[in-house]
Amino acid sequence: MEFSTPILLSTYATQGSHSKKMVLLGSCFAENIGKKLEEYKFLSETNPFGTLYNPLSVASAIQSLLDRKQYEAADLFKHEGCFHSFDHHSRFSSIDKEQCLNQINTKVHKACEHLKESSFLFITFGSAYVYRLKENNRIVANCHKLPDKLFKRELLSVETIVSTWTNLINKITKVNSNLHIIFTISPIRHLKDGAHGNQVSKATLLLAVEQLQGLFPEQTSYFPAYEIMLDELRDYRFYAEDMVHPSPLAIHYIWERFASSFMTSDTRKIMKEWDEIQKAMNHKPFQPDSEAYKKFIVQTLLKIEHITKKIPSFDTQNEIRALKSKLK
C-alpha cells in the first residue's frame, strides 16, 4: 500500500560525476543542494552572489559572471554603518568598503572561471515577485532592510522571464557550448506573499521554465523538487519549525531522489563509500588508545586513499589530517 504519490523521475541524458564541474545559483534550496555536493566532494560553486530569489536577479548575476564584472565603490551603498550591494546577499556586506568589494570580486572571478569550465548549471527560482528601487526602477536582489517606501513590488510575467532567459541562454552557450542547465523551483513557500500569492508566484515560475524547456530542449532539463515536496512529502513533519522550509530529513530525501536520477551509477557507488568513511570518522571509541582503534584508523585511511586514487579531484586533506592526529 502506498501512502504518498511518488514523482516519476527520468534518468538524465547527461549525468553528473566527480569529474564534471557544476555551478548553482538561486534560492535557499540551491544552498541546500550545494552543501550536499560539497559534502560529497564534487567540483561545485554555489551562489557566488549569495542567496537569490527571483529569475531576473539570477539572470543578472550570471550576466555579471559572463562579463567578468569588476565591482567598484560606485556599485555599493552605505546603510546603518555597512556597505552593501543591491546585487548581493547581505553575507557580502561589511563595515569596511574595501573588504566588501574584495569579497564580492574574489567570488565573481572564481565563479566566472568555474562557469566556463562547468558541465552543469543549476538554477533554482524561489519567487516571481521582485522589488524595484523607485529612484531608478532597478530590480534589486536584496533590499538590505532599507525602508519599504523606497521600493515597489511587482509580479513578473511569464513572458518577461522567458524573454530574459532566452537571451541569456543564447549568450551562455556561446561561452560554454557544453553547459547543461537544470532548472528547479524552490519548494520553500513565500508566505509573505500570502498563501494565494505564493501559488500564483510558483505557477508563474513553473510556466516560464516549461516554455524555456520547449525552446531549449537539448540545453535544459527540470528537476521536480517542488513537486516532490508537495506530493511525496505532503506532511508538516517534513517541514522545519517555521513550517515554511523543508526539514533536514526532507532535504536529505530530495537530495537522494536527485542523486538517484542525476548521478552516474559509478558516482553513486563512490558516494556510498564516502558515507561509510564519514561514519567511521564520526565513530567515538571507548578505548581511543587501543591497538584495535589504531588499526581501525589505518583501515579508514586506506579507504580514503582508495577513493583518491580513483578520483584525483577528491579533496580529502582535512579528513586525512584529522585521522592522522588520532594516531599520535
Grid coordinates standing for 109? 572571478
The Cα–Cα gap between 172 and 125 comes to 18
The Cα–Cα gap between 194 and 289 comes to 58
On whether the CB atoms of residues 40 and 274 are closer than 8 A, the answer is yes
Neighbours of 74 (CB within 10 A): 6
On whether the CB atoms of residues 304 and 281 are closer than 8 A, the answer is no
**pLDDT, tens digit, for every residue of 75-108?**
999 999 999 999 999 999 999 999 999 999 999 9
The Cα–Cα gap between 128 and 161 comes to 9
**pLDDT, tens digit, for every residue of 124-164?**
999 999 999 999 999 999 999 999 999 999 999 999 999 99
**How far from 269 is each of 99, 258, 273, CA to CA, in Å?**
42, 15, 6
Grid coordinates standing for 277? 568513511
DSSP 8-state secondary structure symbol assigned to residue 88: S
**pLDDT, tens digit, for every residue of 174-217?**
999 999 999 999 999 888 889 999 999 999 999 999 999 999 99
